């Protein structure tokens, strides 16, 4: 079983959106998936409660139970466990990183978000775990996008070549307990999640999922 964590101590950067979307993508790839919700607000759990499908499985737990739940998932034949972290609490990011094979750190391209991201990265780096920064909710143009790439490069951390746009289909899908690729299978959000999933497969399984991870020019990311 592989473990992917989506972590950030900054709230509102799209951790749950990416975690649920990747869980659905992995399930579509034939994997048995468990999504572990460590956020006290239990947003991923609420998403599952509004979903008219039993899978992917979502369990809301206290961080102290993380190792036990991962062991149980492994014994039940789970192929991929995805950890949806919590904002603010540094110890949650630290503990989740310890049991993960790969960590995604989403951030919006804004000064305060980039600054908060550095604390999460430091916590993960204490375990010497592979990680990558994902620029999320980006605008089609603007110096902020370039600044975010520059700031991430200074940290010496890999930057995911796939950026995720600020697309309405993500939010519309959530309201129905869906992932964007289920809500609008041929939309731009679905394409971005497919590429992001392919990117995580490279790190988790040393292979691609059949999707290209090349990021095209960013366009129409606000309204699509």
> What's the pLDDT tens digit per position in 50-75?
998 999 999 999 999 999 999 999 99
Per domain, the residue ranges of the chain are 2-205
- CATH T-level fold of 2-205: Rossmann fold (3.40.50)
Which carries the bigger pLDDT value, residue 67 or residue 140? Answer: 67
pLDDT digits 0-9 by tens, 1-29: 999 999 998 888 999 999 999 999 999 99
In whole angstroms, what is the distance from residue 113 CA to residue 171 CA?
20
**Residue 3 structure tokens:** 């473990």
Sheet of strand 33-37, all strands in order from the earlier edge strand to the far edge: 57-60, 33-37, 80-84, 2-6, 102-107, 131-135, 158-159
pLDDT at 145 exceeding the cut of 70: no
pLDDT tier at 150, thresholds 50, 70, 90? confident
Q: pTM higher than 0.85, yes or no?
A: yes
pLDDT digits 0-9 by tens, 182-208: 999 999 999 999 999 999 999 999 865
């Amino acid at each position: 079983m592989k473990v992917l964590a989506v972590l950030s101590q900054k709230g509102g950067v799209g951790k749950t959106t990416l975690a649920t979307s990747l869980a659905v993508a992995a399930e579509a790839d034939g994997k048995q998936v468990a999504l572990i919700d460590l956020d006290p607000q239990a947003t991923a759990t609420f998403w599952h409660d509004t979903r008219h499908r039993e899978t992917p499985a979502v369990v809301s737990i206290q961080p102290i139970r993380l190792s036990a739940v991962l062991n149980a998932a492994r014994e039940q034949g789970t192929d991929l466990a995805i950890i949806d972290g919590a904002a603010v609490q540094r110890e949650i990011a630290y503990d989740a990183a310890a049991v993960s094979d790969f960590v995604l750190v989403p951030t919006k391209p804004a000064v305060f978000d980039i600054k908060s991201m550095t604390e999460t990265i430091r916590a993960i780096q204490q375990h010497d775990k592979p990680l990558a920064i994902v620029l999320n909710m980006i605008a089609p143009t603007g110096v902020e996008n370039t600044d975010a790439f520059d700031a991430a490069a200074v940290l010496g951390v890999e930057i995911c070549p796939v950026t995720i746009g600020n697309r309405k289909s993500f939010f519309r899908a959530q309201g129905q307990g869906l992932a964007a690729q289920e809500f609008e299978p041929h939309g731009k959000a679905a394409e971005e999640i497919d590429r992001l999933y392919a990117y995580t497969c490279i790190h988790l399984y040393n292979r691609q999922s059949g999707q290209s991870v090349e990021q095209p020019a960013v366009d129409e990311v606000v309204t699509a």
